[in-house]
Amino acid sequence: MWTVMPSPIGDLRIVERDGSIVAIEFSPFKQSADGRPLGARSDDEPVLAETVRQLTAYFGRELTDFDLPLAPVGTEFQKRVWEQLEKIAYGETASYGEVAGRLGMTNAASRAVGLANGRNPIPIVVPCHRVIGANGTLTGYAGGLERKQQLLELEQDALF
């Protein structure tokens, strides 16, 4: 099942399967990558409604930590990277090399971390926007660099 919510960075489509969030997609929405149907739209499904509530609070600068059942689909390595992303605190950033180091890998693994980061199916909640280049620059973001900048600014503004 899925629902769509408005947000300051454009409409977001939230997808759930078996009671867990599997995707948050930026508009314009695409067909599902695996070709499977998303199911019916259900704005009242409890986990979808709770995700909308928490995202609304996040965008309203009232929530800094999400508490949602997540079931991202990916390789074991991707899941390890995504678990590290969840440990980057609200308003903080980390470089790809730092994330690699937290995984017990060398800086040479930065590229692999970047690829896994870019495949994160649950952006915002799994905060891939908090990963930046080693020199502090914004690097690629599936939702576009403008959205990444907006998310980082939202978090920074909320802290001060």
**For residue 131, what is the domain's CATH number?**
1.10.10.10
Residue 91 confidence (pLDDT) above 70: yes
Using alpha carbons only, give the angle 28, 34, 38 rounded to the nearest 5 degrees. Answer: 60
User: For residue 71, is it within any domain?
Assistant: no
Q: For residue 67, tell me if it sits in a domain.
A: no
How many distinct helices (H) and strands (E) make up the chain? Answer: 5, 5
* End residue of a domain, out of 60, 85, 103: 60
86 and 146 housed in the same domain: yes
CA distance 153 to 45: 31
Clarify whether residues 52 and 92 are in a common domain. Answer: no
What pLDDT score does 108 carry? 82
Name the token pair of 50. 């709770």
152: pLDDT confidence band, cut at 50, 70 and 90?
A: very high
Residue 133 is assigned to a structural domain of this protein: yes
Query: Is pTM, for the whole model, over 0.85?
Result: yes
The angle that helices 76-85 and 110-118 make with each other, rounded to 10 degrees, is 90
Say whether pLDDT at 126 is over 90. Answer: yes
Place of tokens 């489509």: 13
Catalytic positions:
128
Q: What is the pLDDT of residue 37?
A: 59
Separation CA 2–CA 118 (nearest Å): 22
Question: What are the pLDDT digits (tens) for 30-73?
Answer: 776 665 557 889 999 999 999 999 999 999 999 999 999 999 99
Q: How many folded domains does the chain comprise?
A: 2
In a domain, 70, yes or no: no
User: What residue numbers bound the domain in which 21 lies?
Assistant: 2-60
Q: What is the mean pLDDT of residues 5-29?
A: 95
Residues 106, 38 share a domain: no
> Who's near 39: CB < 8 A, 6+ residues apart?
1, 2, 17
> What is the structure's pLDDT at 47?
97
Specify if 66 maps to a domain. Answer: no
Name the more confident of 108 and 10.
10
33-47, 83-97, 128-142: which has the highest mean pLDDT? 83-97
**Above 60 in pLDDT, residue 160?**
no
Q: How far is the C-alpha of 37 from the C-alpha of 35, rounded, in Å?
A: 6
Q: Which of 114, 123, 111, 138 is nearest to 86 (CA)?
A: 123
Q: Is residue 68, in this structure, part of any structural domain at all?
A: no
